[in-house]
């Protein structure tokens, strides 16, 4: 419901002091990764993030490079998503959720498939 995927049966939802209605205009203040992260399998990590960047209508080109570095995807930036390990695919999903620096972050099992070092990194990410 917080992502607008379902309507509440009763009551209402307010985010950032605004009613969650079809006119809600603060979606770029929300980052999310629900269950398994999706990506375009035939696009590279960088290309996937560029698509996401355009869909979010972001205006800071450095965000893509910054999030690739922060989530340690530099060695995989030119690799197609379909060859990534489960852990790196998870990192790509996290990159999409975090790239635009949201005020609210909704994550469902964000450490699934990560190695112990990656789990610590995600828990310490700020």
Q: What is the pLDDT along the chain (126 residues), one digit of tens a residue?
A: 888 778 888 888 888 998 888 788 888 899 988 877 889 999 999 999 999 999 999 999 899 999 999 999 999 999 999 999 988 999 999 999 999 999 999 988 887 778 888 788 778 775
| Residue 69 neighbours by CB under 8 Å, 6+ apart | none
Considering only CA atoms, which of 124, 69, 126 is closest in space to residue 102?
126
**CA-based end-to-end distance of the chain:** 25
28/22 Cα distance (integer angstroms): 15
pTM (predicted TM-score): 0.86
27/124 Cα distance (integer angstroms): 25
All domains in the chain, ordered by first residue: 29-124 (3.40.50.300)
């Amino acid at each position: 419901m917080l992502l607008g995927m379902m309507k509440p049966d009763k009551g209402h939802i307010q985010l950032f002091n605004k009613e969650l209605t079809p006119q809600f205009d603060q979606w770029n203040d929300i980052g999310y990764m629900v269950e398994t992260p999706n990506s375009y399998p035939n696009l590279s990590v960088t290309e996937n993030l560029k698509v996401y960047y355009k869909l979010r209508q972001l205006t800071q080109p450095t965000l893509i490079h910054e999030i690739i570095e922060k989530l340690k995807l530099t060695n995989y930036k030119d690799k197609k998503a379909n060859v990534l390990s489960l852990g790196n695919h998870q990192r790509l999903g996290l990159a999409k959720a975090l790239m635009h620096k949201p005020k609210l972050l909704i994550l469902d099992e964000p450490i699934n498939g990560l190695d112990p070092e990656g789990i610590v990194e995600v828990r310490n990410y700020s």
